[in-house]
Amino acid sequence: MEIIESLPPSFPDNTYVAMDLEMSGMEEELLHRPTTGKFACLSICANSDKIYLIYEPTQVSEVIKRLNNCIWVMHDAKFDITQLRRWADIPPRRKLWDTFLMEHILWGGYYDKFSLADLARRYLGIVLDKEPRKMFSDNYQGMNGELLQYAALDASITLQVQQEQKKYIKRNDMKIWHEIERPALFAVLAFQGFRIDVDAWKQLADYNEKQAQIIKDRLPMNPSSPKEIMQYFKKHGKNISKTNEDVLLKIANTNSDLGKIAHDILEYRKYSKRASTYGMKFIEIYLEKEDNYYVIHPDYNIIGAETGRMSSSRPNIQNIIAHDTAEYRKCFIAKPNHKLIIADYSAQEPRVAAHLSQDPKLLKIFREHRDIYCELAKVVYGKEITKKDPLRNKMKPIFLGLTYGLSSRHLAENMGIEPEEGKAIYKKVFDHFKVFAEYMENIKKRKDYVRTVSGRRIWLNPYSSRVERNALNSPIQGTSAEIIKLALSILHKKLPEGYPVVAVIHDEIVMDVPERLADLMSKKVTDSMKEAAEILCPSVPFDVDAKICDSWGEK
Partner DNA sequence: GGAGACGGCGCC
Partner DNA sequence: AAAGGGCGCCGTCTCC
Cross-strand partners of 23: 39
We find the least distance from the C-beta atom of residue 56 to DNA, in angstroms, to be: 32
CB 338 within 8 A of CB 513: yes
Contact status: 193 vs DNA (CB under 7 A): no
We find the least distance from the C-beta atom of residue 180 to DNA, in angstroms, to be: 17
CA distance 191 to 510: 10
Cβ atoms within 10 Å, residue 519: 14
Q: Please give the residues from 513 up to 542 whose contact with DNA meets the rule CB under 7 A.
A: none
482 CB-near residues (< 8 Å, 6+ apart):
180, 308, 452, 453, 454, 456, 536
- The CB-side HSE value for 159 (13 A sphere, CA atoms) comes to 22
CB 486 within 8 A of CB 536: yes
Q: Which of 341, 388, 343, 339 is nearest to 545 (CA)?
A: 343
129 CB-near residues (< 8 Å, 6+ apart):
150
Q: Is the dihedral of CA 64, 40, 28, 306 positive or negative?
A: positive
**Binding string, residues 61-100; x marks residues near DNA by CB under 7 A:** ----------------------------------------
Among 178, 227, 234, 427, binds DNA (CB under 7 A): 227
Long-range contacts of 76-79 (CB under 8 A, 24+ apart): 76/100, 76/101, 77/101, 77/185, 78/32, 78/185, 78/188, 78/189, 78/302, 79/21, 79/31, 79/32
- CB closer to DNA out of 468 and 534: 468
Contact status: 330 vs DNA (CB under 7 A): no
Applying CB under 7 A, the site for DNA has a residue count of 58
Contact status: 346 vs DNA (CB under 7 A): no
CA distance 260 to 45: 66
Contact status: 454 vs DNA (CB under 7 A): no
CA distance 533 to 227: 47
Binding segment (CB under 7 A) for DNA, from list 47-55, 85-93, 272-280, 509-517: 272-280
**457 sits in which H/E element:** strand 457-459
**Binding string, residues 473-512; x marks residues near DNA by CB under 7 A:** xx--x---------------------------xxxx----
Q: At 390, phi and psi to the nearest 5?
A: -60, -20
- CB closer to DNA out of 321 and 391: 321
We find the least distance from the C-beta atom of residue 416 to DNA, in angstroms, to be: 11
Contact status: 457 vs DNA (CB under 7 A): no
We find the least distance from the C-beta atom of residue 102 to DNA, in angstroms, to be: 17
Instruction: Decide the pairing of beta strands 50-54 and 38-47.
Output: antiparallel
Contact status: 212 vs DNA (CB under 7 A): no
Q: Give the CA distances from residue 353 to residues 284, 287, 428, in Å, rounded to whole numbers and listed in that order.
A: 42, 39, 18
**Binding string, residues 352-391; x marks residues near DNA by CB under 7 A:** ----------------------------------------
Helices (H) and strands (E) in the chain, counts: 22, 17
- CB closer to DNA out of 359 and 508: 508
Instruction: Decide the pairing of beta strands 2-4 and 50-54.
Output: parallel
Edge-first strand order for the sheet with 544-549 is 501-504, 508-514, 338-345, 544-549
We find the least distance from the C-beta atom of residue 448 to DNA, in angstroms, to be: 16
Contact status: 208 vs DNA (CB under 7 A): no
We find the least distance from the C-beta atom of residue 349 to DNA, in angstroms, to be: 8
Among 50, 85, 121, 270, binds DNA (CB under 7 A): 270
Contact status: 396 vs DNA (CB under 7 A): no
Among 217, 324, 368, 497, binds DNA (CB under 7 A): 324
- One-letter amino acid identity for 416? G
Among 197, 228, 327, 531, binds DNA (CB under 7 A): 228
CA-based diameter of the chain, in Å?
79
Binding segment (CB under 7 A) for DNA, from list 4-12, 218-226, 383-391, 538-546: 218-226
**Binding string, residues 399-438; x marks residues near DNA by CB under 7 A:** --x--xxxx--xx-xx------------------------
We find the least distance from the C-beta atom of residue 297 to DNA, in angstroms, to be: 13
We find the least distance from the C-beta atom of residue 555 to DNA, in angstroms, to be: 12
**Binding string, residues 284-323; x marks residues near DNA by CB under 7 A:** -----------------x--xxxx-x-xxxxxx-xxxxxx
Among 40, 266, 398, 518, binds DNA (CB under 7 A): 266
Binding segment (CB under 7 A) for DNA, from list 59-67, 88-96, 179-187, 220-228: 220-228
Q: Which of 23, 285, 52, 282 is nearest to 133 (CA)?
A: 23
Binding segment (CB under 7 A) for DNA, from list 38-46, 172-180, 264-272, 332-340: 264-272
Contact status: 46 vs DNA (CB under 7 A): no
Among 269, 330, 394, 524, binds DNA (CB under 7 A): 269
CB 350 within 8 A of CB 372: yes
Contact residues toward DNA (CB under 7 A) are 222, 224-228, 242-245, 248, 266, 269-270, 272-273, 276-277, 281, 301, 304-307, 309, 311-316, 318-324, 401, 404-407, 410-411, 413-414, 465-466, 469-470, 473-474, 477, 505-508
